[in-house]
Structure 1
């Protein structure tokens, strides 16, 4: 996606750090802007889905690459 406003590298961090970094980053964005988070913690797969539901920020895209990095694209509410 080319319209990403901010990238957060949370690779190597364990729960809850990827979510906390995403939350901090989202606070700097305007409504509708996109945040891209990269994480390697397998727990982040469930964490980001729950985080999106709880906060109302849309999880637009989620995928894992061949290197074991999980990618999350979140649209700020």
Structure 2
């Protein structure tokens, strides 16, 4: 059972890192397209907002699982 829990925790960390990387990529593209190309992409703001909500919810669950305090 402990091996399964460790495997799930590792997968959860990878998921959170992937979501965070996706949000950073979307925000960077938003900045580049707005200021360098003068044509802001409409989907990046919505995607960043969506990913931020999921990162907050899943990150709070992960912090609780690890016994950490989520400081905001």
Normalised TM-score (structure 2): 0.30
Normalised TM-score (structure 1): 0.29
The one of the two structures with greater contact order (alpha-carbon pairs below 8 A, sep at least 6) is: 1
Higher helix share: 2
